[in-house]
A and B are shown apart, each in its own frame.
Chain A
Amino acid sequence: MGPPQAPGRAGALGSVEYTWAAVAGVVAVVLLEVLWLRTGIFRTATFWIAYGIVVFFQVLVDGWLTKLSSPIVIYNEDKFTGWRAPFDVPVEDYLFGFALVTLTILVWVRLGRPARDRRPPTGAGSSRTGTGPSPRR
C-alpha cells in the first residue's frame, strides 16, 4: 500500500498502462462481435438503452468504490490518465466496465435462441408457427 507517488509524471503516455489496457479491452470486445460472434446487438436499441442504465448504476457503485475520501480500490495515479469523473471515478473504468458487461451480454445472446425464433418463451401452448423455411418442427 502506501500513497501513490506524486512525482512520476515522466513518460506520460507510455506509463499509463491501465489506460491502454482498458482501450485494448474495448477494441477486443468490439472485434469479437464484428469478426466472430455477429450477434448484431450494437445495432439494437435494447443494447444501448440497457447500457445507458448500466452506466448510471456504475457511477453509483464505482463512485463508492473509488471515492478518494475513503477508497475501497486505490488507483496508482501513475498508471492511468488521472482523469476522474463524476465523483472520483477514473474514466478508464468506463472502458473496463463496457468490456466486462458487453462481453457478458455478447456471450449470453450468442447462447440464446437464434434471432429467427422470436416467439416469447411463455406461449400458451400455441402452435409453433414457423416463419422460416425450415420444415423441422
Chain B
Amino acid sequence: MDLDRFQYLILMALCLVVTLPLEILLGARVWAQPRRLLTAIAIPVAVFVVWDVIAIARDHWTYGPRYVTGWDLGNLPVEELAFFVVIPICGLLTYESVRRILTEWDDVWARLRRLVGLGR
C-alpha cells in the first residue's frame, strides 16, 4: 500500500494528535465548545479556500503528485481543505492554552494535579 500519497493528510492528522494534550491536559476547552469552534473556523476556511483556488489557478503553487491523494474538489486538493481546518484549530488550542496558563494558572494546576491523582 502506497502511504506516500497520504503524506500530506497524515501530517495534518499528526498536527491534531500533537495538539490534543492541550485540550486534555491543560483544559484549553477549544474542542469542548463545538459551536464556537465551528463558527470561528468557518470564516478563515471560506476566505482561504478562495485564496487557494485563485492561487492554484494563477499557478502560484502546485502539489507534488506523489504526496497527495488526488482527491480534488474542483481544483482544490482535499489536503488543502484539511490544512485550513487543522491549522486554525492548532492555533486556537495554542492561544487558549497560553491564555489559561497566564490568567487561570491555579485552575490549570488544580486540573493537572487531579489528572495525576493528586488532590481533588
Q: Chain A: residues with CB nearer than 8 A to chain B?
A: 1, 17-18, 21, 25, 45-47, 49-50, 53-54, 57, 61, 64-65, 70-76, 79-80, 97, 100-101, 103-105, 107-108, 111-112, 118, 120-122
The answer, among A73, A76, A101, A121, for a CB contact under 8 Å with B59, is A76
Contact with A along B6-42 (1 / 0, CB 8 A): 0110010001000000000001010000001101110
Instruction: Let me know if B8 and A101 touch, CB within 8 A.
Output: no
Complex CA–CA separation, A120 to B31 (angstroms): 17
Q: Chain B: residues with CB nearer than 8 A to chain A?
A: 7-8, 11, 15, 27, 29, 36-37, 39-41, 43-44, 47-48, 51, 55, 58-68, 84, 87-88, 90-92, 94-95, 97-99, 102-104, 107
A19 smallest CB distance to B (angstroms): 10
What residues of A have a CB within 8 angstroms of the CB of B36 in the complex? 108, 111-112
What residues of A have a CB within 8 angstroms of the CB of B99 in the complex? 46, 50
What residues of A have a CB within 8 angstroms of the CB of B43 in the complex? 103-104, 107
Instruction: Let me know if B39 and A75 touch, CB within 8 A.
Output: no
Instruction: Let me know if B63 and A79 touch, CB within 8 A.
Output: no
What residues of B have a CB within 8 angstroms of the CB of A75 in the complex? 60-61
Complex CA–CA separation, A17 to B60 (angstroms): 8
Instruction: Let me know if B104 and A53 touch, CB within 8 A.
Output: no
What residues of A have a CB within 8 angstroms of the CB of B66 in the complex? 70
What residues of A have a CB within 8 angstroms of the CB of B98 in the complex? 46, 49-50, 53
- Give A19's nearest chain B residue, CB to CB: B60
